[in-house]
């Protein structure tokens, strides 16, 4: 039995670092009128949502929560559309948010409001 435990310990130590990386959460909250909160790198879903809501203020709602490194928020100045993205990289998160916003309003009317990544 001791050898099995020792072999298991060696196996776990030899696992790639990516397999041991803890999950981090990101979240975005907004009120549809220009106020928003965006956070990345939280340890739990609940912590990410609470932090995004506290950054945004009253009247806000959580729009996106994801177990990703990066999150992005895009909004149309005419207030008719927003886009939210989450991905492994900032560029991917921003592109996802742009795509969502641009699908609802004329091209080039969406603006990046915020993006964060956990480093």
pLDDT for res 119: 81
Q: Could you tell me which residues are beta bridge partners of residue 62?
A: 29
- Under a CB-based contact definition with an 8 Å cutoff, are residues 102 and 110 in contact? yes
Q: How far is CA 86 from the centre of its chain?
A: 5
Distance (Å, whole) CA 111 – CA 87: 19
| pLDDT one-digit tens code per residue, 30-67 | 998 889 999 999 999 999 999 999 999 899 999 999 99
**Spatial CA neighbour of 97 closest among 18, 45, 36, 12:** 36
State pTM to two decimals: 0.79
């Amino acid at each position: 039995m001791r050898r099995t435990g020792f072999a298991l310990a060696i196996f776990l130590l030899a696992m790639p670092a990516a397999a041991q990386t803890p999950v981090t959460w990101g979240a975005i909250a907004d009120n549809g009128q220009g106020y928003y909160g965006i956070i990345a790198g939280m340890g739990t879903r609940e912590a990410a949502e609470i932090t995004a809501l506290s950054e945004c203020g009253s009247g806000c709602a959580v729009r996106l929560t994801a177990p990703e490194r990066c999150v992005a928020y895009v909004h149309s100045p005419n207030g008719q559309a927003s886009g939210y993205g989450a991905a492994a990289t900032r560029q991917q998160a921003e592109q996802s948010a742009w795509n969502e916003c641009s699908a609802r309003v004329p091209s080039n009317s969406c603006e990046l409001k915020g993006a964060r990544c956990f480093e």
